[in-house]
Structure 1
Amino acid sequence: MKDPANASHHLANVYAGAIFREDQWRRLNAYARGWAEMPDSAELRAKCRTLSGDIARMEHCWAYPGPRLIEAIRESLEAGDAATFARLVRKVSDALLSSDFRREESAWEAGAETEGRVLDFAPPSLDGGPVQRPYFEVLIVTPSEPAQWQRAKDEMRRLRRPDDAFDYAVVHVGSFEDAVLAVMLNTDIQAVVLYDGFGYATRHDIPDLHEYLVRTIPPKADTFEPGALSTRLAKTIASFRPEIDIYLLSDRAPERLAASDEMASIRRVFHHVEEPMELHLSILDGVKDRFETPYFDNLKKYATRPIGTFHALPIARGKSVFNSNWIRDMGQFYGTNILFAESSATTGGLDSLLEPTGNIKKMNEATARAFGAKRAYLGTNGTSTSNKIVVQAICKPGDIVIVDRNCHKSHHYGFVLTGAQPYYVEAFPLVQYSMYGAVPLRTIKKALLDCKAEGTLARVKVIDLTNCTFDGHMYNPRRVMEECLGIKPDLVFLWDEAWFGFARFSPLHRKRTAMGAAAALAERYGSAEYREEYKAWKEKTANLDDAALLDTRLMPDPDKVRIRAYQTNSTHKSMSAFRQGSMMLVWDDDFHQVEGPFEEAFFAHTSTSPNLQLIASLDLARRQMELEGYALTLRMTEIALRLRNTINNHPLISKYFRIATPGEMIPAEFRESGIEDYGPPNGSWVDLIASWDNDEFALDPTRITLLCGSAGFDGTQFKGMLSDRFDIQVNKTSRNSVLVQTNINNTHSDAALLVKALADLSRDIEAKQKNDTTSGREQFAARVKSLVTDVPDLPNFSRFHDGFRDNAKARSNEGHMRPAFFMAYDEDNCEFVRLASEEVDKRLKDGPEMVSANFVIPYPPGFPIMVPGQVITADTVTYMRKLDVKEIHGYHAAQGLKLIKPSVLENRNATSTR
């Protein structure tokens, strides 16, 4: 990223424009204060003039402070009135920081300070004070002259009524380019009104904006046909911020316009300005649709009703708590609402999660709309259960699933439940960090082509991948789906996006999501242009064999291709939902084939007593993200980028702690953009966007691998130190790192806390190294070497034992895991071998093969290094012996490795018990 001081000169920083804007106003406030104290300082006045000019280039994108205040600031600067200039700049800077302009009329005035006067029509609260209504801004794109805009604003202001649910202010722009810039920069915009007849080019001196748009949204000849610019702008806005409501005012026949396919992005068409009140009400109604939380709203009403409960939930209404001599502190701690809003009934408007017909049905529909899906289902047992629901719904015994061996254990258990055969494919290893990345597309294509060669392609049902991974590796789902569909056009894709639910609301991340890819591919395959492109490609590749296809960019037949994508989100991991809140998003052209099995799987895994507060929190998480997710996701991304830049460029901290860069986390062959790092001097937002558009893998900047090995700390030790000494909590560790993730909850103060902790630790280490003995320094160096250099190799999946394969000679490696799993239920089928024993080495050398009877999952890294039916090889044993983690699921050192006895395997037929 560039220096915030110069951010307005670089549209590459447009995605963080709102943050830079506040920084610039605060810097201007500091300069203005200095000038007021030293009014004769030509240097300070010049700095004020330069920074004011930078700010003014973009300020037309926001309603506040507005042209009147901006003009008053300019006039005081030109007149040399340092005191007035400082007062006005402070007013604006403070109002932006405190958001007072959303509440107080005086914040918009250039006059002397007055007691805060609330905005007109704010309804009174119960105690007689004002109530802050949610505030947003409306962008009006108009061909009218700027001199008329203030009158138009005043006219719209007069339409407001005391019973309006929301307050809004108006921003006017006069061109396509200005509108796109405003939508990018101004996170408060919730609605856009297009008046037919505006032009394309900005009137402002922003050449970088023009260059950006020409490169990303090049104008076409038909762009300037009557009305075409409006529909093109609507489509552009919808692709960038799909949550925004768009209205078109045209003097063309609105009836014909409304029926046009071009109106898909437009909420309502008006015949120019014949109904201004209808436009006002429509704007409010559009925001109200997103603001409504059907389940939460009803739960609040339910909590206020006098209910007699004769059902199996004593805690409901709270009498068993508040009347108790022993647990009243529970009520004092949690409050009354959480108890009054509890019930085991599905009457009274509460609805049933299993058979929704009311509020939950509406909630599902709103969730699908918000996340860009065709359907949505709510999960109340975490995404572990959501994954098992989807796997059970789309798989049956004998189906082959090409799956990342390092995916979450819920997927593996799903295969056990369904009898589907996993075909494990390997992610690229990051040995130096004791972690895996993601699975190369070439590896996935090879698995499909191997199945084709073996005659089993018809049985390949699903591609199952984690996006983004725990450590931030993002696939290019659009490319993965397109090329795989080029081999088998009816494949189903399960994208586990547990950590990635927020991505829908970031224009940067959205293109890397399953639902974003599904929408893009559906549009692409339905176009005449694609048919022509496919026809040419088909002719060019007609004579290629499978070996050549492996290294060819593949395209699916538009007459055969089906878009079938499932995405699971841990809503609680990246949005404001309670723990275990999850969502299942569906874009499936053939869902009619799956609907029955999906419902059965949903019934099988979903509790009949779901937590009502959890459901309500999912409702609220959706509302928040639809209305402010754009702002929140950009802020969390900007905080992450600042952390990366600060830590890696600090002369002392970077000696002992460092954040792994995209160049270190993604091998060069998967980064055709060549990007090495985010931020100067390595790259800008433009470079980041280019890499995310084209590279096979990209690194989510909000998932920060903080390397601690050079400080002599292993990941587990460092995680404990951060918690105990600095009250900083993190989730995941590796041998020499911890994962720091920024989310919508984080602030710049949180970032400062982490940086301060690293600085304190670095100073402590530096002082100890300086004062330590030679022996002490050597011990420290040896510790660092063991953590940073002497790291164990990561084991790949070996193979399933021949007894669990249909064809032991096949090059495809799918296997029957379910029978191996259940064989372990009979202890007579199993044996234990101590990991450190000589017998392990003897059997590795001379046999018989050791075959795992269960899952073995070390934490970290958290993926199964052994699965039921897998042949255990030397690299897996070596890795296990070098592991120094305390938590290994499925392995007890006192017993050793749990194996299936060779005598049991000797005469086993893979098809005998599935």
Structure 2
Amino acid sequence: MPAARADAWRGLTADARRWAAGKADRAAVERAFADIVVLEEFHAYPGARLMATLRDRLAAGSAEGFRNLAERVSQAVVTRSYKHDEGDWDVAESAADRMPDLGLPAHGSGGQHRPFFEMLLVSPHGGTRGAQQSAELRKLRRSEDAFIYETVPVGSFEDAICAAIMNPGIAAVTIYEGFDFASHHDAPVLRSVIAARGIDAADVDEGDLALGLASELKRLRPELDIYLLSDRKVESLAGHPQAGALRRVLYSVEEMLELHLSVLEGVAERFRTPFFDNLKHYATRPISTFHALPIARGKSVFKSDWIRDMGEFYGLNIFLAESSATTGGLDSLLEPTGNIKEAQEMAARAFGADRCFFVTNGTSTSNKMVHQAVVAPGEIVILDRNCHKSHHYGMVLGGAQPLYVEAFPMTEYSMYGAVPLASIKQALLDLKAEGRLDRVRMVDLTNCTFDGHIYNTRRVMEECLAIKPDLVFLWDEAWFGFARFSPVLRPRTAMGAAAAIEAWMHDPASVAAYETQQAELGENPSRETLLATRLIPDPRQIRLRVYQTNSTHKSMSSLRQGSMILVKDVDYHTVESQFREAVFTHASTSPNQQLIASLDIARRQMELEGYGLVMNAIEISLSIRREINSHPLISKYFKVLGAEEMVPASYRQSGFSDFLTPGTTWADQIRSMNEDEFCLDPTRMTLVCGTAGFDGTEFKKLLADDYDIQLNKTSRNSVLLQSNINNTRSDIAQLLRVLLDISNAIEKRLAEGGEAGRVAFFARVKSLMEDVPDLPDFSHFHDAFRGDAGEMTVEGDMRTAFFAAYDPAACEYVPLFGEECDRRLAEGPEMVSANFVIPYPPGFPIMVPGQVITHETIDFMRKLDVKEIHGFNREKGLRLIRIEAVTAKSAR
């Protein structure tokens, strides 16, 4: 939307230039301006005066005057200079003609920059009364104010929702009672979005319209501070059940200063970064250090004849802000009691959790901490076999028994999707049938997956809780932390879904829904019936226990390895001591101060501008998809896969096909997010390169070496592009230029290579796109590592197998290629993996300790053409456990 707004202004100025040059008539300008007028009602800038001046010049036929002002406004919108340049707000063309003392946004005293934000002002007759209220608030500005803001006045419920959606600069909302529900605009798209969110005008109580709006705005953008001004009995209003969405209720007949100060205080609270602020102060103090960190204060660097360039490269502050002490105003990450504790509490609020823990050695460590804290040795964890290796190693370290469930395969692209809910329910029901449901402790899934598959987190948790009400859930959202700040994606996050379940549990209708379903199911429903039914848990029995790990550095402005653990666990008190031990086990006693500060800063940024940043990242990704797939030459050799290719139709119950399908609206996307079992994260784009004759690894290297374009994940015939809050439209242009260069080079090569060259090219494409190996499923653990496992499930004691391989006498090697491997597969004895084997790509363990190796796994490994396979020695072959040695040792 920010990009669309900028494009609209560029389009208007282009029309205005043609009009001024006599190359077009005024009609085109009038049409473009009419569209912009509606858009700008929901933004503070350009504001009523500038828009009225543009309208007057257009009506008077002043082509040159209109063009000059339109260009100036357009430049300010694109560069956002209006946030700090008072001149952008003035109608006058030159500084000499401007009226003094307008009270408009400006620098603070001495030219110091003050952050600028916008406040949505909802009141009856929004345009006229809102202008008066805005003028009153401007008069209250003082040079000592830390921030400066302008208002966006609207007069209806629908317009307020529209402004909150379209304007990412809004950081606060003030609501006066007495406004209308319906917008004066004909807005079918807006109304379809509102309807998709479950809002019906017929259901809105006019008497509580203000509170209803506050609740919906808070659901849409939870980071907003919302103030309600009423001339009713505010004491009783403040105690209303929906008043929880409000930061403060004010009596509207009182002076405006209280509102003004409250708004500034609310933004200041989010702006404050307890640890970073303290670290900046610490860096200014003349401290002598006698601790074990020579680099602190930078003397060993800047006084050196040999490493001074390091100091010049990084700057002085990074050394002044280093210390290994936890006193003198600093705090301990392992035992936080001061500013780190406060920073974590603020992050918990921002991300919708009850608790938050900062982790400075990555989400790999966060995952291991949760496993160690929550799961006891011998307990069962239902685990996606394709999840990050840290979960598997967490099982080894903690002694839990994994019950692997398989994601749906995407064989054509040599990757997996996500785990169908039916597979998870099947595992739980099998364990229940064997009388071992009590052994199950946790369900552990990746959301979203590396390739962008998003679970219906609420449905997964609700249906699993219907079978076992005290299940713990660990959602690895390493790549998805940013989603909290998108109203479209938030419901699919762990914390978003947990909040929805928590609210549902307290709704009296939840008990009725559960009891109705129980009556329909009867006393002993069959397994088939339970698998086919969308199960409703008993809200009276649920123990809501949700953990989310978040690689803050992967999608937000945190330094590398910055991670968070978010907790919403009603029984956290039962694992608190274990959690502390897990922190002591895995966290460094010398955590990096800059990492902690960056986590604090990342929270501040996302609370104050995350909505707009995420919106921009999504816009960029949709633009990339559209431009690549529609380009006449690039699309011959490259394609970004859509939802219909990444998610089977059986998991898209809404019928949603793709973001770029003609006629698709945001309402369709919201409906898909509400209904479908799996959705696709729009910011993660699978670019097929096999049709251009490149395997993923080869194409990744080409982009990095020849074009300075970096990316991470590859498959046999694709690479993964990610848009994030760091990307700009210039990045899109560079990517498209590079793909066009490569496409032109392919065209030239095919034209000059003759028939033999074309045959070779298409043979290469066929080998990459059609001759792909089948993806191997997990087989089973060897009986020696099954313990007391039942017959219906495949869990095993991976820890025992892992450490059995520490005895060299218990291991052997078998070459991957050769008669011995084939003979063992055909005749035995079974080959049992001694360790994890993880090829990159696809990046998940195709063998784990104790797993019986099958034909499917060997065939897959033999067809792999990747160089990086962790856990596999190409010279010696497969490292196996000699079962007879393990059993003999156990017998002793």
TM over 0.5: yes
CA distance in 2, matches of 1:870, 1:119: 75
Question: What's 2:585 paired with?
Answer: 604
Question: What's 1:20 paired with?
Answer: 4
Tell me, yes or no, if the aligned pair for 1:201 and 1:210 is still in contact at 8 Å.
Answer: no
Is 1:531 aligned to residue 511 of structure 2? Answer: yes
Tell me, yes or no, if the aligned pair for 1:141 and 1:193 is still in contact at 8 Å.
Answer: yes
Are the structure 2 counterparts of residues 681 and 260 from structure 1 closer, same or farther at C-alpha, using a change threshold of 3 Å?
Answer: closer
Tell me, yes or no, if the aligned pair for 2:805 and 2:881 is still in contact at 8 Å.
Answer: yes
C-alpha offsets along residues 177-229 of structure 1, whole Å, 9 cap, x if unaligned? 11111111111111101112212111234344345434534346663342x10
Secondary structure at the counterpart of residue 95 of structure 2: coil
Tell me, yes or no, if the aligned pair for 1:802 and 1:808 is still in contact at 8 Å.
Answer: no
CA distance in 2, matches of 1:160, 1:559: 52
Are the structure 2 counterparts of residues 742 and 696 from structure 1 closer, same or farther at C-alpha, using a change threshold of 3 Å?
Answer: same
- After superposition, where does 1:653-664 map in structure 2 within 5 Å? 653-664=634-645
Question: What's 1:106 paired with?
Answer: 87
Is 1:548 aligned to residue 529 of structure 2? Answer: yes
Question: What's 1:424 paired with?
Answer: 404
Deviation at 1:29, TM superposition (A): 0.6
Are the structure 2 counterparts of residues 153 and 295 from structure 1 closer, same or farther at C-alpha, using a change threshold of 3 Å?
Answer: same
Tell me, yes or no, if the aligned pair for 1:501 and 1:574 is still in contact at 8 Å.
Answer: yes
Are the structure 2 counterparts of residues 727 and 82 from structure 1 closer, same or farther at C-alpha, using a change threshold of 3 Å?
Answer: same
Is 1:240 aligned to residue 220 of structure 2? Answer: yes
CA distance in 2, matches of 1:316, 1:638: 42
Question: What's 1:8 paired with?
Answer: none
Secondary structure at the counterpart of residue 57 of structure 1: helix
Give the TM-score, by structure 1 length: 0.95
Is 1:667 aligned to residue 654 of structure 2? Answer: no
Question: What's 1:436 paired with?
Answer: 416
AA aligned opposite 2:505: Y
Is 1:701 aligned to residue 659 of structure 2? Answer: no
Tell me, yes or no, if the aligned pair for 1:142 and 1:198 is still in contact at 8 Å.
Answer: yes
CA distance in 1, matches of 2:168, 2:37: 18
Is 1:181 aligned to residue 165 of structure 2? Answer: no
Are the structure 2 counterparts of residues 351 and 804 from structure 1 closer, same or farther at C-alpha, using a change threshold of 3 Å?
Answer: same
Question: What's 1:829 paired with?
Answer: 810
Question: What's 1:378 paired with?
Answer: 358
Secondary structure at the counterpart of residue 494 of structure 1: strand
Is 1:462 aligned to residue 442 of structure 2? Answer: yes
Secondary structure at the counterpart of residue 711 of structure 2: coil
- After superposition, where does 1:187-206 map in structure 2 within 5 Å? 187-206=168-187
C-alpha offsets along residues 818-843 of structure 1, whole Å, 9 cap, x if unaligned? 01000010101100001112111111
- After superposition, where does 1:296-375 map in structure 2 within 5 Å? 296-375=276-355
AA aligned opposite 1:406: N
Is 1:628 aligned to residue 628 of structure 2? Answer: no
Are the structure 2 counterparts of residues 237 and 864 from structure 1 closer, same or farther at C-alpha, using a change threshold of 3 Å?
Answer: same
- After superposition, where does 1:534-613 map in structure 2 within 5 Å? 534-543=514-523, 544-613=525-594
Q: Which residue, 70, 74, 83 being the options, matches 2:64? A: 83
Is 1:642 aligned to residue 626 of structure 2? Answer: no
Question: What's 1:71 paired with?
Answer: 52
Segment of structure 1 superposing worse, 404-413 or 772-781: 772-781
Is 1:37 aligned to residue 21 of structure 2? Answer: yes
Stretches of structure 1 lacking an aligned partner (at least 5 in a row): 1-15
Deviation at 1:547, TM superposition (A): 2.5
Question: What's 2:598 paired with?
Answer: 617
> How many correspondences in the alignment?
889
Tell me, yes or no, if the aligned pair for 1:514 and 1:567 is still in contact at 8 Å.
Answer: yes
Secondary structure at the counterpart of residue 192 of structure 1: strand
Are the structure 2 counterparts of residues 145 and 713 from structure 1 closer, same or farther at C-alpha, using a change threshold of 3 Å?
Answer: closer
Are the structure 2 counterparts of residues 608 and 89 from structure 1 closer, same or farther at C-alpha, using a change threshold of 3 Å?
Answer: same
Question: What's 2:703 paired with?
Answer: 722
AA aligned opposite 1:182: A
Q: Which residue, 137, 152, 157 being the options, matches 2:118? A: 137
Are the structure 2 counterparts of residues 653 and 225 from structure 1 closer, same or farther at C-alpha, using a change threshold of 3 Å?
Answer: closer
AA aligned opposite 2:352: G
AA aligned opposite 2:763: A
Aligned-CA RMSD value: 1.7
Question: What's 1:153 paired with?
Answer: 134
Are the structure 2 counterparts of residues 326 and 211 from structure 1 closer, same or farther at C-alpha, using a change threshold of 3 Å?
Answer: closer
AA aligned opposite 1:307: I
Deviation at 1:615, TM superposition (A): 0.4
Tell me, yes or no, if the aligned pair for 1:105 and 1:118 is still in contact at 8 Å.
Answer: no
- After superposition, where does 1:169-318 map in structure 2 within 5 Å? 169-219=150-200, 223-226=204-207, 228-318=208-298
Segment of structure 1 superposing worse, 349-358 or 896-905: 896-905
Is 1:486 aligned to residue 471 of structure 2? Answer: no
Tell me, yes or no, if the aligned pair for 1:709 and 1:787 is still in contact at 8 Å.
Answer: yes
CA distance in 2, matches of 1:208, 1:902: 65
C-alpha offsets along residues 652-685 of structure 1, whole Å, 9 cap, x if unaligned? 1111111111111111111112222212426232
Secondary structure at the counterpart of residue 586 of structure 1: strand
C-alpha offsets along residues 420-453 of structure 1, whole Å, 9 cap, x if unaligned? 0000000011111111110000000000001001
AA aligned opposite 1:261: P
CA distance in 2, matches of 1:732, 1:145: 50
CA distance in 2, matches of 1:756, 1:210: 39
Deviation at 1:105, TM superposition (A): 2.4
AA aligned opposite 2:285: R
AA aligned opposite 2:797: H
Question: What's 1:168 paired with?
Answer: 149
Is 1:749 aligned to residue 730 of structure 2? Answer: yes
CA distance in 2, matches of 1:289, 1:455: 52
Segment of structure 1 superposing worse, 761-770 or 90-99: 90-99
Deviation at 1:134, TM superposition (A): 0.3
CA distance in 2, matches of 1:854, 1:611: 32
Deviation at 1:550, TM superposition (A): 1.0
Tell me, yes or no, if the aligned pair for 2:683 and 2:723 is still in contact at 8 Å.
Answer: yes
Secondary structure at the counterpart of residue 58 of structure 1: helix
AA aligned opposite 2:847: M
Deviation at 1:106, TM superposition (A): 2.4
CA distance in 2, matches of 1:411, 1:678: 32
Deviation at 1:456, TM superposition (A): 0.8
Tell me, yes or no, if the aligned pair for 2:643 and 2:657 is still in contact at 8 Å.
Answer: yes
C-alpha offsets along residues 539-566 of structure 1, whole Å, 9 cap, x if unaligned? 1112412231011110111110111110
Tell me, yes or no, if the aligned pair for 1:830 and 1:900 is still in contact at 8 Å.
Answer: yes
AA aligned opposite 1:616: A
CA distance in 2, matches of 1:107, 1:174: 26
C-alpha offsets along residues 62-95 of structure 1, whole Å, 9 cap, x if unaligned? 1111112111111211221111111121121011
Are the structure 2 counterparts of residues 238 and 730 from structure 1 closer, same or farther at C-alpha, using a change threshold of 3 Å?
Answer: same
Tell me, yes or no, if the aligned pair for 1:829 and 1:904 is still in contact at 8 Å.
Answer: yes
Question: What's 1:12 paired with?
Answer: none
Tell me, yes or no, if the aligned pair for 1:803 and 1:908 is still in contact at 8 Å.
Answer: no
Deviation at 1:37, TM superposition (A): 0.9
Tell me, yes or no, if the aligned pair for 1:834 and 1:896 is still in contact at 8 Å.
Answer: yes
Deviation at 1:123, TM superposition (A): 8.6
AA aligned opposite 1:258: A
Secondary structure at the counterpart of residue 190 of structure 1: strand
C-alpha offsets along residues 129-183 of structure 1, whole Å, 9 cap, x if unaligned? 5122100011111124633332221111010111000010011111111111111
Deviation at 1:122, TM superposition (A): 7.8
Q: Which runs of 4+ in 1 moved over 6 A?
A: 115-119, 121-125
CA distance in 2, matches of 1:78, 1:376: 57
CA distance in 1, matches of 2:21, 2:733: 30
Secondary structure at the counterpart of residue 813 of structure 1: coil
Give the TM-score, by structure 2 length: 0.97
Deviation at 1:502, TM superposition (A): 0.4
Are the structure 2 counterparts of residues 144 and 659 from structure 1 closer, same or farther at C-alpha, using a change threshold of 3 Å?
Answer: closer
AA aligned opposite 2:652: R
CA distance in 2, matches of 1:45, 1:286: 46
Tell me, yes or no, if the aligned pair for 1:121 and 1:160 is still in contact at 8 Å.
Answer: no
Are the structure 2 counterparts of residues 268 and 185 from structure 1 closer, same or farther at C-alpha, using a change threshold of 3 Å?
Answer: same
